[in-house]
Amino acid sequence: MPSPVEFLRHFHSEEEFGRLYSLFLSKTLLLIYNPAVRSILKSSNFILEEKISGIHSHRENKNIFAAPCKMGSSSVAEQIELFSCFGFSTIIQIGLAGSFSEDIRLSDIYISKGAFAESLVPYVYLSKPFSYSPDNPYFFSKTLFQADENLSKDLFLSLSPHFPSGKTSSTLHSGFHFSTDLLYKETTEKFNILKSSDAKVVEMEGATIFSICRSKNIKSSGIYIISDKIAEGTWIQNWGSPAIRDIYHKIIGLLLLE
């Protein structure tokens, strides 16, 4: 079975692969999930650099690149494997998440310190025990797939002055979260179990990103914009809000200034 690097070389000449490796080596990649991601990248002054992997370069900041994030653990695992071949030192996921916490509102921002996983992939990459049985339908465990601690702290300190607490503005939070591949199998009971472990929001890719990056010595963290919320048994959705698009642009702009 070919390694990711060997697989990648099928699509690039030695000269092109060397050029891309030199371009991306030790740089930061923003892995962005949003249905309108290409529009967000274009309006944030990114241009397509590498067609096969979808990596975009910024017209001014040559230390930060961006790419659309695929949905689900197996799809994003393929991406991280390929991105690791290019030598990126840091991967920051910027995506959407659902809140199942009373104190985290729509359009708030959540920086993850680590994720619990309802997906096989993160367990395999870090050789963690994994089991499922009909008697235990919630096959996530107390295994925590950690983001890079220092990176998560730095992101929180960097963004917090720009998202202060308040009734009318987006508030910045930090804590653990939940990654699932079973988006249609969520229950209030499951969320209550997770809240007891300080996990307050749910998305689909974070645990896989953190685990693969940790296995390859790449720093990683996740920034999630709250696009929907479970409140009193009601699912409140705000996916296409202009406010959420504005938050993406603001976060990306602030990271480009770092």
Distance, CA of 113 to CA of 156 (rounded, Å)? 10
Is residue 208 a contact partner of residue 184, using CB atoms and an 8 Å limit? no
Q: Torsion-angle region of residue 127: left (phi > 0), alpha (psi -120 to 50) or beta?
A: left
Bridge pairing between strands 234-237 and 219-231: antiparallel
Structural domain span for residue 44: 4-257
Q: Tell me the per-residue pLDDT of 122-147, one tens digit each, with 9 for 90 and over.
A: 999 999 988 776 666 565 667 899 99
State the CATH number of the domain containing residue 235. 3.40.50.1580
d(CA 155, CA 135): 40
pTM, whole model, 2 decimals?
0.94
Phi, psi of 15, rounded to the nearest 5 degrees: -65, -45
Q: pLDDT tens across 83-110, in order?
A: 999 999 999 999 999 999 988 999 999 9
**pLDDT value for 140:** 61
Q: So what's the pLDDT on residue 183?
A: 82
Of residues 61, 62, 52, 112, the one with CA closest to residue 83 = 52
d(CA 216, CA 220): 11
| Average pLDDT per 10 consecutive residues for the chain, totaling 258 residues | 76 87 96 95 96 94 97 95 94 96 93 93 91 65 91 97 79 94 82 84 97 97 95 82 93 94
In the chain, the number of structural domains is: 1
For residue 68, what are the β-bridge partners? 32
Instruction: Output the six-digit token pair for 138.
Output: 């919630």
The pLDDT value recorded for residue 239 is 83
Give the pLDDT confidence score for residue 165 in this predicted structure.
Answer: 75
pLDDT at 11: 82
